[in-house]
Structure 1
Amino acid sequence: MAWIYPAPGKSGSLLYRLSDCSYSFPWFNVPCFRSFQPSSTAGEISQPPSVLRAFLVPATDEIAKSYSLLNLFSLRCCPPNPKFGSLRHLDLSGNEKRDFPEQISTWLQNFTALQMLDLSGCTLSGNIFPIWNLPLRNLSLDSNHLSGDASFIFCNQSLLSWLSLMDNNFGGMILVNISLPSLTHLDLSFNNFGGLVLESIARMVKLQHLILGYNNFSGQIPILLSQLSSLSFLDLGLNQFSGGIPSNLGDLSNLQYLDLSKNQLNGSIPSRFTPLSRLEYLDLSFNMFTSAELELFENLTRLQFLIMSNNKLTLNFSSIWNPSFWLQGALPLLLSAVEYLDLSDNFFSGSILPLVGLNLITLILFGNNLSGAFTSSICSPYMDILDLSSNKLSGSLPPSLANCSSLGVLNITNNDFDGEIPQDIGNITSLGVLHMNDNKQRGSLPSSLRYYISLKILDLGNNGIEGHIPNWIKYLQQLRIINLSFNKLRGMIPSEIPQLQNPQILDISKNSLTGELPTNFSGF
């Protein structure tokens, strides 16, 4: 038995079951089509076999006319015959341009009832072909090489609900007279569209997803976008937008995802973001913001991903925890739900003490002016990535660092940490990357490091570590990079080092080691 079924993520229509098949379909007049039985909808069946990754032509015109849905994903052959006149759903994604008729637009006009068309990943090139006579609801032309002016796609498509032109070479400006009153999803990302985002987009009042990232749009972010009251996903990242963020974007009360990264936005981040109580993802990185207004994140209780790196923000943590930390001494952030926090490459200063109580999985604060000690409050059993490099942190590493029991990456490079590396650090057996380069660590290598069986990078260079290179280093069989340079190590180079299986870099220079370098390195 085989199925005619919709592609993943596409809306389901009535499916048809092909029974009594041997799974060895000939190219023409497939005999198993003699037994058609209505079946269930897409959501009620498991993944069908891949036997329909082939060119199926029905034995009779009557059967062809009965089709409503056909998925021939990656068929690598000819598309279906125009006899499929009543076809409503057609998925030909993942095929090659050479497999289609030369006059593809004329061929498509035969499918007069077509509502869903997916030609993504078909290596189509050149100018877009006319499709305006089709009653389309869903159109996907993703990941092709189409170019030129795509503006006519936006015309005379009053029924269109889903339009995705992602990852092509379309360019030019979007026409002013766009009229797509039914559109809920618009993805123009990874193209060469430019100019202003015109007010016509604001007339698409049913839009839920607006994705314009990775283009050349410029000017200010249109104020009229605030009229898209149904919008839940807004991506304007990697364009050339300038000026400030319109304060009335806070009127988009249904917004869950907002990406304004990699533009030329500047000034203050407006406090009118406060009403965005459903926001889960906020990326303002790689802009030129200098300050944030009071109560910016006060009501963002669902925020899980906050990325504000590579700006010009200043940050001073208050000693008062309420529970919030403070930007520029005045901005409370209620971050109890945040899992991913990236504030790297800014001008933040002060202590990191107030981060207590958060359930962070990823914390990235490198490239700031943070100072003070590494406190136990920053550690949590959920944290996977902790990057505090290139700051002015000092003092000894506390034994409580072991509370980060799930840590995979620890980077405290380029600070002023001193004292001995605590033995308790060996309790973080999940650690794969350890960067402590360019600090003032002293004492010997803790023997507990031998339990780092997953460790791939051990970077302890530019410190004051003393003693011998221990022979237990042979147990760290996953090590790829070992940097112990510029320390105070002495004695013989252990003969066990050549037993490491996969080393790529070994730097033990600028120490007081003696003897000859072993020549039998098996992994190099």
Structure 2
Amino acid sequence: MSLLELPHLNYLDLSRNDFDGTQFPEFICSLGKLRHLNLGYFGFGGQIPHCLGNLTKLQFLDLSVNWLSDTNLDWLSGFESLEYLDLSRNNFEGTIIPDSLGNLMSLRVLRLSENILSGRVPKSIRYLSQIDTIILGSNRLEGLISELHLFNLSKLKVLDLSFNSNLTIRTSSSWNPPFQLESLYLASCKLGPYFPKWLQNQKRTQTVDISNAKISDNVPNWFWENIQTCATLNMSYNQMYGVIPSLSSVLINLVTIDLRSNEFNGSLPLLPPTVTEIYFSRNRFSGTIFNICYNLTRNLRFLDLSDNLFSTHIPQRCFMNLMNIDYLNLANNNFFGEIPNSIDLPCAVSFLHLRKNSFTGEISSLKSNNIHGSLPRNLCHLQNLQVLDISANNISGTIPKCLKNFTKLRSEIDPNSIDYRFFMDDGSGSYDSAYIVWKRQEAMYSSTLRLLTLIDLSSNNIIGEIPHEVTSLIGLVALNLSRNNLVGSIPSDISHLELSNFLDFSKNKLSGSIPPTLAKLNHLGVLDLSFNNFSGKIPWSAHLQTFDASTYMGNPRLCGPPLVLKPCPGDKTPAGNIDETQNQEHDDIFNSKGFYVSIALGFIIAFWGVSGTLFLNKWCRITIGKMLISVKDWLYMMASRI
């Protein structure tokens, strides 16, 4: 039976199919009694037929997540009964939001986000007196949003204008909104420079995101007192300043607080035990972190206090608690104290960044501190570890074979399995980041940090052989064992590290031949085997030949390309030797008598060619004659004085 044979059809839901860009079917326009039409996630492409406006009885219209476009949306004006409209995540482009949008007097939900809409938001939205949700985020809207747009929207609960970087929100200081918002998203809009006073009467907000909103102001105390129901607070990437009061008894429902990249100072605020994620990096906080250590670690999963002004001792018990946090970043402060040399289970840390502090002790994952001693075997309890950086310390002993217990590194990283709450959008389009030494340079690793798998044990005093178990870490992207005292050979099954992009074994005492299986690492972008004791012929493969001689230098018994001056016995004369032969021929030319005779003849011919031409010219001949007479007289005078 065809849908055309159902003239009384009033409910049609074909969502979440895949028609792969098929044109919107115009026959739907003939279903005049439809009240509910859901074609979201359908795969439609092309332009919406304007005859869709004939379905004047529609109360629900969802065309989200397609590839639809249109030159104008005036066909919406006839939907006087429409309560729900979702055109988000399509290809609508340009200044096409019509003034007639205000005719949809019954509309409760408006979703136009994640398109390419530009131009101004029409003031006619103030006539949508029944609206409770407006979501226009992630477009290119511009102009001004003022109380004239919002003064009649008494039922509004959700307002999302985020990621419209040219959109300015400006209201009078005395404006008292008629609504009580539950969710406010104004990230990357122009909300500042002053803290918005109209938030003073918003006392039901559960989510507030005013990140990257150009605010350069002190946060007033009334704000903290009014957001008691808030669960998610994001004010990052502004220039807010001041001391934050205790929030433990105020924000009793708080789960996530993000204040990074501001200028807050003073001690850390007391937070409620409900909090699971704390983003306080790149501020001016100081004092202790005892409240976090002893009161919050039971539920806390993400803690970033990096790049602040902390200069305080962290007791061992505090460290024991912090190691139960999935993501811990205390980098670029002046924390000090002795790290415990044993960590009791459970130990859940996956990302551990403690670089540039003053810690001492015998545990790993502390780059550029003062760590000494052997690699602890309890390191292998860190089954969820994804990034291990112990470089530039004084670690000794051997690499533990129990590295194979790094469960997360024994399989390829599945982006879909990552908890994306650890990589929340910062308002600039990138995910949370960390400083990682990558390809010999320290840099902020962002955006794809969640996909990085790295072990860096470089610049220590580690001895022994590279354990065979390392090759079981098939999800490893980077392995840096350089600048140690490792001996033995490269494991023959190194080819198991198929995802490896970076291998650095340089400046050790490794020996033996370079395994041919190394040529199977097709993703390898950086390879350094220099300054070891490798011997034999460098394996021939198109991929390994992309690395230059510096990759293999400092191994006197290695031979073969790309070491063009060190051919292996039986090899043909490499191209480099042809150049040397040509250079020798040039040297023979310079040493011959004919070379110097030809130079002398060339000088004589050139001299008389120029001089002869001058003497043939009468004026030049007279001038040169006078000059010679003057020289003669001067020489005669000087001689008479002797």
Is the TM value for this pair above 0.5? yes
- The residue number in structure 1 matching 2:311 is 314
- The residue number in structure 1 matching 2:273 is 277
User: Paired residue for 1:160, among 156, 163, 173?
Assistant: 156
Secondary structure in structure 1 of the residue aligned to 2:128? coil
Cα distance change of structure 1 residues 245 and 124 upon mapping to structure 2, 3 Å threshold: same
Kindly indicate whether residue 411 of structure 2 is the aligned counterpart of residue 428 of structure 1.
no
Give deviations 1:266-301, integer Å, cap 9, x for gaps: 12113xx24x23222211111111213764565434
- The residue number in structure 1 matching 2:395 is 417
Cα distance change of structure 1 residues 423 and 336 upon mapping to structure 2, 3 Å threshold: closer
Kindly indicate whether residue 349 of structure 2 is the aligned counterpart of residue 349 of structure 1.
no
Shift of 1:265: 1.2
Q: Verify the 8 A CA contact 1:181 1:205 in the aligned structure 2.
A: no
Q: Verify the 8 A CA contact 2:36 2:61 in the aligned structure 1.
A: no
**Distance in 1 between the 2:323 and 2:481 partners?**
33
Kindly indicate whether residue 499 of structure 2 is the aligned counterpart of residue 486 of structure 1.
no
Q: Verify the 8 A CA contact 2:94 2:116 in the aligned structure 1.
A: no
- The residue number in structure 1 matching 2:237 is 238
Shift of 1:447: 2.7
Cα distance change of structure 1 residues 60 and 325 upon mapping to structure 2, 3 Å threshold: closer
Larger radius of gyration: 2
Shift of 1:120: 1.2
Cα distance change of structure 1 residues 335 and 2 upon mapping to structure 2, 3 Å threshold: farther
**Distance in 2 between the 1:159 and 1:287 partners?**
37
Cα distance change of structure 1 residues 305 and 29 upon mapping to structure 2, 3 Å threshold: closer
Letter of the aligned partner of 2:211 in structure 1?
G
- The residue number in structure 1 matching 2:377 is 399
Letter of the aligned partner of 1:113 in structure 2?
S
Shift of 1:429: 5.8
Secondary structure in structure 1 of the residue aligned to 2:205? coil
**Distance in 2 between the 1:468 and 1:415 partners?**
24
Kindly indicate whether residue 348 of structure 2 is the aligned counterpart of residue 360 of structure 1.
yes
Secondary structure in structure 1 of the residue aligned to 2:493? helix
- The residue number in structure 2 matching 1:262 is 261
Shift of 1:227: 1.9
User: Paired residue for 1:201, among 199, 202, 206?
Assistant: 199
**Distance in 2 between the 1:128 and 1:285 partners?**
35
Cα distance change of structure 1 residues 134 and 245 upon mapping to structure 2, 3 Å threshold: same
Shift of 1:154: 4.0
Q: Verify the 8 A CA contact 2:126 2:150 in the aligned structure 1.
A: no
User: Paired residue for 1:72, among 63, 85, 105?
Assistant: 63
**Distance in 1 between the 2:158 and 2:53 partners?**
33
**Distance in 1 between the 2:268 and 2:28 partners?**
64
- The residue number in structure 1 matching 2:218 is 220
Give deviations 1:477-516, integer Å, cap 9, x for gaps: 3322110112122344344432433321110112233445
Kindly indicate whether residue 143 of structure 2 is the aligned counterpart of residue 142 of structure 1.
no
**Distance in 2 between the 1:174 and 1:440 partners?**
63
User: Paired residue for 2:180, among 166, 182, 189?
Assistant: 182
Shift of 1:48: 7.6
Deviates more, 1:166-175 or 1:127-136: 166-175
Kindly indicate whether residue 501 of structure 2 is the aligned counterpart of residue 503 of structure 1.
no
Identity of aligned residues (%): 28
Task: Name the count of aligned residue pairs.
Answer: 477
- The residue number in structure 2 matching 1:9 is none
Shift of 1:100: 7.0
Q: Verify the 8 A CA contact 2:136 2:160 in the aligned structure 1.
A: yes
**Distance in 2 between the 1:228 and 1:474 partners?**
55
- The residue number in structure 2 matching 1:55 is 48
Q: Verify the 8 A CA contact 2:117 2:139 in the aligned structure 1.
A: yes
Q: After the TM superposition, which residues 442-461 of structure 1 pair with which residues of structure 2 at under 5 Å, given as runs?
A: 442-461=463-482
- The residue number in structure 1 matching 2:582 is none
Q: Verify the 8 A CA contact 1:223 1:249 in the aligned structure 2.
A: no
- The residue number in structure 2 matching 1:382 is none
**Distance in 2 between the 1:230 and 1:477 partners?**
49
Shift of 1:221: 1.6
TM-score (norm 2): 0.67
Cα distance change of structure 1 residues 220 and 189 upon mapping to structure 2, 3 Å threshold: same
Secondary structure in structure 1 of the residue aligned to 2:69? coil
Letter of the aligned partner of 2:303 in structure 1?
L
Shift of 1:108: 0.9
**Distance in 1 between the 2:470 and 2:52 partners?**
70
Letter of the aligned partner of 1:307 in structure 2?
D
Letter of the aligned partner of 2:469 in structure 1?
S
Q: Over the residues paired in the alignment, what is the CA RMSD in angstroms?
A: 3.4
**Distance in 2 between the 1:202 and 1:430 partners?**
46
Q: Verify the 8 A CA contact 2:23 2:46 in the aligned structure 1.
A: no
**Greater helix fraction, Structure 1 or Structure 2:** 2
Q: Verify the 8 A CA contact 1:420 1:444 in the aligned structure 2.
A: yes
**Distance in 2 between the 1:447 and 1:148 partners?**
62
TM-score (norm 1): 0.80
- The residue number in structure 1 matching 2:80 is 85
Q: Verify the 8 A CA contact 1:196 1:218 in the aligned structure 2.
A: yes
Letter of the aligned partner of 1:237 in structure 2?
S
**Distance in 1 between the 2:299 and 2:2 partners?**
44
Shift of 1:441: 0.7
- The residue number in structure 1 matching 2:607 is none
Q: Give structure 1 stretches of 5+ with no counterpart.
A: 4-14, 327-333, 376-386
Cα distance change of structure 1 residues 113 and 438 upon mapping to structure 2, 3 Å threshold: same
User: Paired residue for 2:483, among 454, 462, 475?
Assistant: 462
Secondary structure in structure 1 of the residue aligned to 2:222? helix
